[in-house]
Structure 1
Amino acid sequence: MWAASCLASCCAACACDACRTVVSGISRRSARIAYCGLFALSLFVSWILREVAAPLMEQLPWINHFHKTPNREWFETDAVLRVSLGNFLFFTILSFLMIGVKNQRDPRDGLHHGRWMMKIVCWFILVILMFFVPNEIISFYETISKFGSGLFLLIQVVLLLDFVHGWNDKWVGYDEQFWYVALFIVSLVCYLATFGFSGLLFHWFTPSGQDCGLNTFLIVMTLILVILFAIVALHPAVGSSILPASVISLYCMYLCYSGLASEPRDYECNGLHKHSKAISTGTVTVGLLTTILSVVYSAVRAGSSTTLLSPPSSPRAGGGKPLLPLDKADEEEKEKNKAVTYSYAFFHIIFSLLSICGLSLLLFSSQTGTSKSL
């Protein structure tokens, strides 16, 4: 018994030392990626709880206080929503704490880039506490998450536009005929995929003999937006390339498909119900990868020359002036007063919205037609 206790203590000490080593190794450059890792951890935790937490939650009287016990899917959804709420509160609190950080002398700069053990412990406590809040709060959060998810999708489009414009400018900057032809080919492929995808949507979600006016309206409106994007991109007053419009058009068509695929499986206008398992798995995979990639991109892209996340005082946001050589003491002082390269508050807001979209929607898009309401 003594040997087992000693061995357990040694293992715990080694685990703590390993955690301290990892968190202390996170530098300023890798802090943004570390936040992505923390979000990935929340995805993993929510997936585990979705699989194993239902029987345990059925025993909690402040959760299961109904006259008739809900089905298993209700508890699975509830578990992920509670993790999502804890994640949302964690990043929202960080966002409020980071409002007004303009230079690295601010003590809050150290909180943003360091103190990872404390932040991980706080995140863990918040997630645990969410399993003690009343069901009414979780139901309210589920309702507002639909609006938050829509807002995140708009930010996702902005991030995608930022990426595509950078891609377009890089190829145009080569000023060679080959790269202009490559831009045209990529744009053409995107438009062919968009219109081909729209044909599949008409085939899957507007079956003959059924009144599917809403589905038809959504697909047609998406096609109208595709045409408008192209007209705006080619207008002389805009002077933009067709590549951003083509990529955004393909992404909007995917969003239309994702929305239509979320219709109940027994809905007569959802033509995917016969092979919904395979299609739903593909939708979840593509949606999850798209969301995670957009967040990783926002973390890495923050502070870039596009000033997407750069505050006005940042040197990357313009207004920086070259300085004369300084001595070592002045250089150290300059480093302390160095302006931050991106808005910490907005950075955490992105993760707050992702917590709503990524956890409460993407992980449950496979449960098409499942409602948490009783």
Structure 2
Amino acid sequence: MNAVLRVSLGNFLFFAIFALMMINTKDQNDRRDAWHHGGWIAKIAVWAVLIVLMFCVPNIVITIYAIAEILSKFGSGLFLLVQVMMLLDFTNNWNDSWVEKDEQKWEIALLVVTVVCYISTFTFSGLLFMWFNPSGHDCGLNVFFIVMTLILAFAFAIVALHPQVNGSVMPASVISVYCTYLCYTSLSSEPDDYECNGLHRHSKQVSLSALILGMLTTVLSVVYSAVRAGSSTTFLSPPSSPRSGTKNPLLSDDNVEAGKDDSKESELRPVSYSYTFFHLIFALASMYSAMLLTGWTSAASESSELMDVGWTTVWVRICTEWVTASLYIWTLVAPLLFPDRDFS
């Protein structure tokens, strides 16, 4: 487990350094823009050196490991929130792109996706009752988690279909499936000796499958953030950066005419997204990956024999489900509560 944390810390330092270096980069003429997009041989060399250095530090850094684990849990929680934001952004863009086509086949496709998602949600919830509420045992906590997930699924649909809410049932169905998945991963992470964990006989296999799904979700989130950062001028764009094609109010027409004689290097070419936030996503992903591999527990914990198993993991994931639900409902009701704000 120490090796996992060493590699994670090396990755985190690499991306954190770049995030700090890219602060306030607003113009593509800035030399740091070339560092961000190029210099791959030098970047790989720096990354390799940092990883090696993490394995060469003296034993006294065990104390630092403890601090690093606490920071990793905090950073991992932030990355879970980023995953939720990515999911909400993806589902809304998916729904809007199909609605804008304004064709019957796309409307049917939206209906099919919605129906499949809700069938999956309720079917999966039924399986959760079978697996994590065995007869003859008092499993009130597990029942509460599953019932709450079903209540949230109904709440998503009711709020999204409210006439005063500018929502759609398709994103609500996708979020319902994701919340059900989080409920499953939470329950499957219960200790193998817990009587209400019906999958305890296959705890190692369940732990491995949950780990693979978690890592896959992490990779997809990072890749999606990178794609969105590279193709969008709004999602990750710095608030103060000017948009291309926007006239600078400080420049008069005379100054504009005079500026035509300047070289191309002096022309304003604003960046399309925040380089600092881009690297910060990867830094948080490094923390989150380490927590997945160590089961959100201390490296010296006896319960870390099984990856991704333990009550800490259970509560982290169930809280992530509730935060996901809260954020989704907030995106629906916020325009009603604050009509003067622009939430587009």
TM range (shorter): 0.7 to 0.9
Shift of 1:284: 2.2
Identify the match of residue 367 of structure 1 among 296, 307, 317. Answer: 307
The answer as to 2:202 corresponding to 1:202 is no
Give the equivalent residue in structure 2 for 1:96. Answer: 20
Equivalent residue, structure 2, for 1:222:
149
Displacement after TM superposition at 1:315 (Å)? 5.8
Decide which of 32, 40, 49 is 1:108's aligned counterpart: 32
Mapping for residues 156-175 of structure 1, pairs under 5 Å? 156-175=83-102
* Structure 1 residue identity aligned to 2:111: F
Counterpart in the other structure of 1:242: 169
Question: How big is the shift at 1:357?
Answer: 0.9
Residues 205/188 of structure 1: CA separation in 2 closer, same or farther (3 Å cut): same
Q: Does 2:260 match 1:320?
A: no
Give 1:193-342 correspondences, 5 Å limit: 193-305=120-232, 307-314=234-241, 320=246, 332-333=264-265, 337-342=268-273
TM-score, normalised via structure 1 length:
0.70
In 2: Cα distance, 1:165 partner to 1:94 partner? 31
1:332 is matched by which residue type in structure 2? K
- 1:351 deviates by 0.7
Alpha carbons of structure 1 residues 325 and 351: separation in structure 2 relative to 1, 3 Å: farther
Contact kept? 2:99, 2:107, Cα under 8 Å: yes
Alignment partner of 1:152 is 2:84: no
* Counterpart mapping for 1:55-134 below 5 A: 77-131=1-55, 132=57, 134=61
Residue of 278, 292, 297 corresponding to 1:347? 278
Q: Aligned residue for 1:45?
A: none
1:212-241 superposed Cα distances (whole Å, 9 cap, x missing partner): 232222222222322222222222332121
Distance in 2 separating the partners of 1:179 and 1:306: 27
Alignment of 1:138 with 2:65, yes or no, is yes
Q: Residue 264 of structure 2 aligns to which amino acid in structure 1?
A: E
Aligned residues: 293
After superposition, give the CA deviation of every residue in 1:168-215 in whole Å (9 maximum; x if it has no partner).
111111111221121111011111111211122222122222232322
Q: 2:258 and 2:105 mapped to 1: Cα distance?
A: 46
Q: Is the 8 A contact 1:314 1:340 kept in 2?
A: yes
Give the Cα–Cα distance (whole angstroms) in 2 for the partners of residues 177 and 291 of structure 1: 35
Q: Give the counterpart letter for 1:87 in structure 2.
A: N
Alignment CA distance shift 1:224-1:329 (3 Å):
farther
Asked whether the 8 Å contact 1:263–1:368 carries over to 2, the reply is no
Structure 1 residue runs without a partner (length 5+): 1-76
Alignment gaps of 5+ in structure 2: 249-255, 297-305, 312-344
Between the two structures, name the one with larger relative contact order (CA 8 Å, sep ≥ 6). 2
Task: Give CA deviations for 1:314-336 in whole Å, capped at 9, x if unaligned.
Answer: 566x87359x99999768246x5
SS in 2 for 1:361: helix
What's 2:289 paired with?
358
Distance 1:291 1:362 in 2: 12
- CA-based RMSD of the aligned residues comes to 2.9
2:106 is matched with 179
- What is the CA distance between 1:141 and its match in structure 2? 2.0
TM-score by length of 2: 0.76
The one-letter code sitting in structure 1 at the alignment partner of 2:289 is G
Cα offsets for 1:282-338 (capped at 9, x unmatched): 22222221211111111011143472111235566x87359x99999768246x521
How many angstroms apart in 1 are the aligned matches of 2:203 and 2:223? 30
Question: Deviation at 1:129?
Answer: 2.4
Aligned to 1:72: none
- Pair 1:157–1:117, CA change in 2 (3 A): same
Q: Check whether the contact 1:84–1:360 (CA below 8 A) recurs between aligned residues.
A: no
Equivalent residues of 1:157, 1:248 under 8 A apart: no
Paired residue secondary structure (1:104): coil
Q: Percent identity between the aligned chains?
A: 60
Check the 8 A contact 1:302/1:308 in 2, yes or no. yes
Aligned-pair distance for 1:280?
2.8
Q: Tell me which amino acid in the other structure corresponds to 2:27.
A: N
Distance 1:321 1:219, change over 3 A: farther
Change (3 A) 1:320 1:305: farther
